[in-house]
Structure 1
Amino acid sequence: MSVLVKFIGGTPEEDGRYEDGEGREYRYAPQENGALAIYEKETGESIPPEEQPIAIYGPAAWFSVSGDKLTRSDRRAGRVSGY
C-alpha cells in the first residue's frame, strides 16, 4: 500500500502521495514530538535502523495519514560479529 498524507489547509492536489512501485515501498512513522516521518525501502527488503527518513513533516503541517505504518518487521535486525 502507498502512504497518503493530508496537510492542514491543503487541497487534494496538495496531498503528500508516496506511491509504491518501481521496486519501492513506503512506510510512515509518527514521532513523539508530533512530526511525521516517511521512509522508503526496496520491495522485500528491510529498513536499516540508521536509515534516515526521506521526508519529515512538522506537527503543524499534517492532520491525517493512511497507508502502511513502519513496523518492527520493516527494520533489519542488528548483525552479531563473530558468527
Structure 2
Amino acid sequence: MAIDISFIGDKDDYTYEDGEGVEYRYVINDNGTLAIFEKEEGGHLAGNAEPVAVYGPAAWFSVRGNARSKKDTPPARIRSF
C-alpha cells in the first residue's frame, strides 16, 4: 500500500508509491515528526535504518498507508556455541 501524506495548507496529497521492488513504511515519532522508510519488497528494515524523508510536526496533517511494524524487523539471529 502506498503512503499518502496530507500537508498543512496544500490541497493535494503527496504519495510514496510502492512498486518496482520497493515498499514504503512510515513512523510518527514522539516529537511529532513523520519519517518515511524504504524497504525492498519482502525484505526487512534494520533497527538503525535511515529514513528517506522526515517531515516536521508543523508540515503534515495526516498520513495513510502502512506504518512500520514488528513484521518489518528482521528475525533475531541465534548464535551457536
TM (norm. structure 2) is 0.91
Unaligned runs of 5+ in 2: none
Unaligned runs of 5+ in 1: none
- Determine helix, strand or coil for the equivalent of 2:71: helix
After TM superposition, the structure 1 = structure 2 runs for residues 30-45 of structure 1, keeping only pairs within 5 Å, are 30-45=28-43
Q: Identity rate of aligned residues, in percent?
A: 47
After TM superposition, the structure 1 = structure 2 runs for residues 2-81 of structure 1, keeping only pairs within 5 Å, are 2-12=2-12, 15-81=13-79
Paired residues, number: 81
- Whole-Å Cα distance in 2 between the matches of residues 24 and 45 of structure 1? 9
Q: CA deviation at 1:76?
A: 1.5
